[in-house]
Amino acid sequence: MSYRDNIFNSNTYEYLNPSQSRYGNLEFVGLETTAQVVTTAELKAQLRVDTNAEDTLLGAYISAATLMAENYCNRHFITAKYKLWFNSLPSTFSLYYPDCSFNFSGNENTHDGIHYLAAVGSTYTLFNNTNWYSNQNVSPCQVTVNTTPSNAISESDLTGATNDIYYFQFRTGYGDASSDVPNAIKQAIKLIAADMYYFREDRKRAFPMASEILLQPYKCYL
């Protein structure tokens, strides 16, 4: 199963952490914003199109070209949110996604980090984020959990009716805005979309060679 199958079908799938031999389900929650990596105006400038008659079509090409570029690079460009589910809380696990980040603003129930089901029928509660830490200087990002934190509920308190149901929420991507995405990626997407515009039939090569060269430095080998 490919990276893109997992992300854009919004399904869960078995997620193996080889270092721990543990399985969980990875759930794609959604994108943080509706921002496009490339705007319709930017593509029209690339194509030298000065009318609005085909804006809907160009928008569809941008979406398809972005999907192809992300699939090739094995990464999100605009920030996306995920939940990694566990039946039991491991002491360490890895996040096999580039550019992982964590958001702790707003309501704590929406914070990134470890959440648990305290009782059957209750809502998920956040583990205090001082009780886990991440090492983002290694690839993949490594998360280490204190399973018996002194200032939060202990794992032993969660054993029983809940069957120890947890999820770890995190984000991946360059940022929430188009300006956060490297210019080379944006240019590659414009070239792919332009190719779709000029050549509307299927073709042997997925997208132009120039776009592949531009994307190559950003490809993540999972």
* Domains of the chain, residue spans: 3-31+80-172, 40-76+177-218
Q: What is the pLDDT of residue 22?
A: 39
Question: Left, alpha or beta for 29 (phi > 0: left; psi -120 to 50: alpha)?
Answer: alpha
**Angstrom distance (rounded) from CA 117 to CA 210:** 49
Q: Please write the tens of the pLDDT for every residue from 198-212.
A: 988 887 777 889 999
CATH number assigned to the domain covering 40-76+177-218: 1.10.3230
Residues 142-186: tens digit of each pLDDT: 787 765 544 444 555 444 444 567 888 888 889 999 999 999 999
Q: How many CB atoms lie within 10 A of CB 60?
A: 13
Better pLDDT: 157 or 51: 51
With 60 as the cut, is the pLDDT of residue 99 above it?
yes
Please tell me the predicted confidence (pLDDT) of residue 20.
36
Decide if pLDDT at 67 tops 90.
yes
Q: Which of 199, 200, 178, 202 is nearest to 189 (CA)?
A: 178
H or E element in which residue 24 lies:
strand 22-31
Over residues 21-39, mean pLDDT: 78
pTM of the shown model: 0.73
How wide is the angle at C-alpha 99 spanned by C-alphas 97 and 102, nearest 5°?
95
CB atoms within 10 A of CB 79: 20
